Each structure stands twice: as C-alpha cells, then as structure tokens.
C-alpha cells in the first residue's frame, strides 16, 4: 500500500481459499492471486460507481497494462484472506495497490499493483490523460 498517506478510495473483500486454487504443493498457485486482485478491484470500482458496465457506457475501457506481485507467505486451503485495493494514482493512468492478508492474524501474504490506462472505445486509442468521467467518479473537481 502507499505508505505516504492512505487512499481516499479503497475497498476490501474477504475470500476463502478453495481447493481448486491450489497447486501440487497444496498452496495457492501464484497465478490465482490475479483473480483475487480482480475481485477486490471490482469491489473498488463498485464503491466509486464506475464498474465495468459503467466504464463501457462512458465510452472508455481500462485495460491492465502492468501487473506486479510480491509473495511473502503462501495462502492455504480453507484459509480466509482479506484482499484490499486502493487507488493511488489517477491523473494520467489508474494505479491500484493491493494487499492480501490472513483475515485472522493480519499477516501479509502478498502485495501488488496494477496499472490501467483509459482507451477510447470508439477509436481504440489510448488516452494520455484520464478522462473527465474518472475525476467525476472520484469526486475530484476539474477546471
């Protein structure tokens, strides 16, 4: 998470690790963490009233162009985990930081980030600045 100051735009979800998410070592396969981040990201977008349907209606897609994950401890079958997502950049791109912790102990399991950019759906061109609709959804006045 951003250590400078807490984000005004955050959401968290609690999940229980399922058997089908495990690898042969009986821990969560590393690729499944991307799915966990997506669940938290959807909750975050819902909290600002800008989920994927609303993005599409606004004329913009927001593809992930960069993904970073840092694993500290493995998640195991049946474990309850809390996944937090926080918007930390929004002016020229949308950067979201994530934290995955054990729900009971608070122990950090994984942290990560995604970067997304606005793409005008009609032209399929990337925007070099976030469109006004994002600022509106974040409650940021624009001049």
Please write the tens of the pLDDT for every residue from 44-103. Answer: 999 999 999 999 999 999 999 999 999 999 999 999 999 999 999 999 999 999 999 999
Residue 103 lies in a domain: yes
Q: Is residue 4 pLDDT above 70, yes or no?
A: no
Residue 29 lies in a domain: yes
pLDDT number for residue 29: 97
pLDDT number for residue 52: 92
pTM of the predicted protein model:
0.92
pLDDT number for residue 141: 83
Q: Number of structural domains, the chain?
A: 1
Angle at CA of residue 80, ends 66 and 47, nearest 5° = 55
In the chain, which residue ranges form alpha helices assigned H by DSSP?
Answer: 32-47, 52-58, 132-138
Can you say whether the dihedral through the CA atoms of 38, 41, 46, 47 is positive or negative?
positive
Angle at CA of residue 115, ends 8 and 67, nearest 5° = 120
**CATH code of the domain covering residue 18:** 3.10.129.10
16-24: average pLDDT: 97
Residue 19 lies in a domain: yes
What are the tokens at 19? 């058997």
Which domain does 69 fall in, by range? 10-138
Residue 1 lies in a domain: no
């Amino acid at each position: 998470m951003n250590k400078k100051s807490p984000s005004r735009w955050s959401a968290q979800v609690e999940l229980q690790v399922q058997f089908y998410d495990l690898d042969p070592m009986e821990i969560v396969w590393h690729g499944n963490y991307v799915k966990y981040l997506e669940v938290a990201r959807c909750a975050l977008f819902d909290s600002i009233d800008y989920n994927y349907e609303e993005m599409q209606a606004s004329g913009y897609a927001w593809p992930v162009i960069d993904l970073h994950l840092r694993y500290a401890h493995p998640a195991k079958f049946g474990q309850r985990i809390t996944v937090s997502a926080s918007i930390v950049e929004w002016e020229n791109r949308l950067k979201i930081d994530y934290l995955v912790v054990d729900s009971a102990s608070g122990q950090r399991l994984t942290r990560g980030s995604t970067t997304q950019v606005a793409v005008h759906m009609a032209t399929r061109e990337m925007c070099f600045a976030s469109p006004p609709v994002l600022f509106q959804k974040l409650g940021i006045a624009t001049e």
